[in-house]
Chains A and B, each alone.
Chain A
Amino acid sequence: MSDHAIALRDATKQFPHRAGGTFTAIRDVTLDVARGEFVTVVGPTGCGKSTTLSLVSGLEPATHGTVTVNGAPVRGIPDGVGYMFQSDAILPWKTVLDNVALGLRYRKVPGREAIARARDWISRVGLAGFEDRYPHQLSGGMRKRVAMAQTLITEPSVLLMDEPFGALDVQTRELMQDELLRLWSGSGAAVVFVTHDLTEAIALADRVVVMTAGPATVKDIVAVELPRPRKVEEIRLTEDFTQLYRRVWDSLREEVEITRARGADHVA
C-alpha cells in the first residue's frame, strides 16, 4: 500500500446546477500528501479549493476518480480526519471546556478522562482560565484557538483546514500561524491548508499547490525548502521567501486574471 496520508487520483466533483445540468467544481485532481507533510493550497476565489477538502473529509463523495486516506478509499468520514472550517463551527451554547471535549464525548471517551484531556488542550492553546466561558464572550482569535483545540484533541493523522484564519486581523493571524506550526510539529499529522494568502501559504508549507481557475485542477506544485522551526513574521523577510513568493505568484497570476475576466463578463 502507499504510505501517503492522502491520495487523490483524477478526482472530479460535479454538483447539479440549479438551472439543470451540472457544475464542475474540481476536475481531475491528482495529488499525494505524505504522512507528516504540510501542504497549502492556493487558487483564485471560488475555484473549488474547499471542495477538495470536502472530498478528502468524506463530507461529499467524488463524482469520478478515487480518494484514499491512510490507504483506505474514502466512504463516509474516514478515521483520523480533523477539519477546521472557515466559519465558526464551535457550539455557541457550550462552554469552552465542553466544546473542546466534544470530539472525545462523541467517541465515547469516559467523562472524567475527556474533561482532563480537554483541560490539557485548553492550556496548550493558551486559553487556561477560560474553560467556563461561552464562545460569545471570547474574541475571534480565542474562538479560533477553541476550534483548534477541538479539532486537535482527536489527534487527527490528517488535518484539513479551510482558510481557518481568514476572518482574523493581520496580527492575530500571524500569531495563530505560529501557534499552528508549534502544535503541529511533532504531531506527525498530514495537513492540507487552503488559503487565499500567499504569505501564509509559503510560510506554513512544505509544498504549495497552485490550483487553476474553476473547474479547478492542480496547475503547479512549489516545494518550500525553508528550515523549520519557522517564525512567520521573520521568515517572510528573507530573500528565499521573496523568491518563492514571486515563483508562486507568477503561477497564480494567470489564473486570477482568468477568474477576473469571467467576473467582468458576468457584469457586462
Chain B
Amino acid sequence: MSLEQTTATASAPAAGRSGLWAIVRGGTTHGRAVVYGVRLLLVVVWLGSWEISARTFMNPFLYSMPSRIWDKLVSWFTDGTSQGSIWINIWVTLEEAAGGFVLGVVAGVVLGVLLGRSVFFADVLAPFIKAANAIPRIVLAALFVIWFGLGMQSKIATAFVLVFFAVFFNAFQGAREVDKTLIDNARILGAGRWALMRTIVLPSATSWILASMHVAFGFALIGAVVGEFTGADRGMGLLIQQSQGNFDAAGVYAGMVVVTVVALLAEFLIGQLEKRLTAWRPQTTTTSAAGA
C-alpha cells in the first residue's frame, strides 16, 4: 500500500488547471484584440441577459440582478456594511486565508518532502494519510469554532487543513520524482543529507509545489469563508451569511464578487512568485509546472 495512487488523483486537477491556465494566458495564434473583444462580448451578453430577465419575467428578489449587485457593492465601499468598513472585513478574511495558507504550505512541504524521501515512513503512514484525505475536512470548521472560538484561529485552522493536503501530495510526489542521477552526482560531489535536501530535493520539487499553490490559495479562501459562515464576528463569510439571513441575494453576490477579486489578485501574486522561482527554466514551460 503506497501513497502513489492518492497522489496521482490529488495532483490531476492541478495539472489540468495549469494546462487550462496556459491557454488562458495566451500563446494562441489569434490576435490579442480579437480574444479580448470576444471575452468582453461574452460578459456583456451574460450580464445583459440576466438584467433583462430579472426586469421582465424572473423574480429579482430571489435571483437579484447585476444593477442591484453593483449598487450593493457601491454602498459597501462608500457607506460601509452592517459589520463595519468593507475593508476591515476583506482584511480579516485575507488574514485568515493567508495565515492558513502559509502554515499549510510550510507543513505540507516539510512533511511531503520528508515522507517523499523516506520509503519506510511513507509506507507506515500511507493508510492514515489516505484516510485523513478522505475525511470531508470542511466539516472540521464546525469543530474548530468549538475549539478556538469565533475569532481568527478557527478560520486559520480550517484554511490550514484544506491547504495542507493539496500541498502535501504534490510535495510528496515532487520529492519522489527527483532525478536519481542528480542525487548520485551530488552525493559524489560531497553533499550530506541536509545539503541533498536543500540543494537537490527541494528545488526539484519546487515546480510541483508551486503548481499546488495556485489551487491551495483558493482552498485557503474557501476555508476562511466557510469558517466565517460557521461562526464569526467579522469577515466576508459573515457578510455573505448575514445577507442570506436577510434574503438579500444581491448581498450574497456582492460578497462573491469581492472574494473572487481577492482570489484573482492572490493568484497573480503567486504567479509572480512562480516566475521568480523558476527563472532558470526555458520560457515556454513556465506555465505548465505540474506537467513537468
Question: Is A59 in contact with B189, judged by CB distance below 8 angstroms?
Answer: no
Interface string of B172-195 (1 = CB under 8 A from A): 000000000110111111111001
- Interface check A85, CB cutoff 8 A: yes
A112: CB under 8 A from chain B? no
CB pair A91–B199 under 8 Å, yes or no, is: yes
**Shortest beta-carbon distance from B172 to chain A in Å:** 20
Which of B199, B203, B280, B282 lies at the interface centre, i.e. has the most chain A CB atoms within 10 A of its CB? B280
CA distance A22 to B280 in the complex (A): 42
Instruction: Report the separation of the CA atoms of residues A103 and B190 in the bound assembly, to the nearest whole angstrom.
Output: 6
A92 in contact with B281 given A77-B188, A106-B190, A150-B189 (CB within 8 Å): yes
Q: Contact partner of B203 among A90, A93, A134, A136, CB < 8 A?
A: A93
Interface residue count for B (Cβ, 8 Å)? 20
- Tell me if A83 and B184 are in contact (CB < 8 A): yes
A106-B190, A107-B190 given as contacts; is B200 within 8 A of A89 (CB)?
A: no
Q: Are B189 and A92 in contact (CB under 8 A)?
A: no
Residues of B within 8 A of A87 (CB): 181
A154 CB within 8 Å of chain B: yes
Q: Is the CB of B280 within 8 A of A93?
A: yes
**Would you call A136 and B181 a contact (CB within 8 A)?**
no
Q: Report A-chain residues with C-beta under 8 Å of the C-beta of B206.
A: 93
* B residues near A151, Cβ cutoff 8 Å: 189
* A93–B280 CA distance with the chains assembled, in angstroms: 5
Q: Assess whether B281 is in contact with A57, with CB atoms less than 8 Å apart.
A: no
Contact of B280 among A83, A88, A136 (CB under 8 A): A136
Chain B residues, Cβ within 8 Å of A85? 181, 184-185
The B contact surface, by secondary structure, is helix
> Contact at B182–A91, with CB atoms within 8 Å?
yes
A85 CA to B182 CA, complexed, in Å: 9
Q: Which of B182, B203, B282 has the most CB of A within 10 A?
A: B182
A191 smallest CB distance to B (angstroms) = 15
**In chain A, residues 130-157, which have Cβ atoms closer than 8 Å to a Cβ of chain B?**
134, 136, 150-151, 154
Beta-carbon contact of B186 and A83 below 8 Å: no
Contact of A103 among B182, B189, B192 (CB under 8 A): B189
Judging by beta carbons under 8 Å apart, are B280 and A106 in contact?
no
List B contacts of A154 (CB < 8 A).
189-190
Q: CA separation between A225 and B188, bound complex, in Å?
A: 32
Within 8 A of B (CB), among A52-109: 57, 59, 77, 81-83, 85, 87-95, 102-103, 106-107
Task: Tell me, rounded to whole Å, the shortest Cβ–Cβ distance linking B145 to chain A.
Answer: 43
Knowing A77-B187, A154-B190 are in contact, say whether A91-B200 is a contact too (CB < 8 A): yes
A82/B188 in contact, CB under 8 A: yes
Chain B residue nearest in CB terms to A84:
B185
Contacts A92-B280, A93-B280, A136-B281 given; does A81 touch B199 at CB 8 Å = no
A93 to B182, CA, bound (A): 12
Of A77, A91, A134, chain B has the most CB atoms within 10 Å of the CB of: A91
A100 CB, nearest partner CB in chain B, Å? 11
Alpha-carbon gap, A59 to B183, bound state (A): 10
Q: Determine the chain A residues whose CB is within 8 A of the CB of B278 once the complex forms.
A: 93
Binary interface encoding of chain B residues 271-283 relative to chain A, with 1 for a CB under 8 A from any of its CBs, else 0: 0000000101110
A82 to B188, CA, bound (A): 7
Cβ of B189: which chain A residues have Cβ within 8 Å of it? 102-103, 106, 150-151, 154
A68: shortest Cβ distance to chain B, in Å?
A: 18
Q: Pick the contact of B186: A57, A102, A134 (CB < 8 A).
A: A102
B207 to chain A minimum Cβ distance, whole angstroms, is: 10
Residues of A within 8 A of B280 (CB): 92-95, 134, 136
Separation of A136 and B188 alpha carbons in the complex (Å) = 23
The answer to whether B191 and A106 touch across the interface, beta carbons within 8 angstroms, is yes
Please tell me if the beta carbons of A91 and B203 are within 8 angstroms of each other in the complex: yes
Let me know if A59 and B186 touch, CB within 8 A: no
* A134: chain B residues within 8 A (beta carbon): 280-281
Q: Which residue of A lies closest to B190 (CB)?
A: A106
Question: What are 27 A-to-B residue pairs whose CB atoms are below 8 Å?
Answer: A57-B188, A59-B188, A77-B187, A83-B184, A83-B185, A83-B188, A85-B181, A85-B184, A85-B185, A89-B184, A89-B185, A91-B200, A92-B280, A92-B281, A93-B206, A93-B278, A95-B280, A103-B189, A106-B189, A106-B191, A106-B195, A107-B190, A136-B280, A136-B282, A150-B189, A151-B189, A154-B190
Q: Residues of A with Cβ closer than 8 Å to B?
A: 57, 59, 77, 81-83, 85, 87-95, 102-103, 106-107, 134, 136, 150-151, 154
Closest 3 CB pairs of A and B: A89-B185, A106-B190, A103-B189
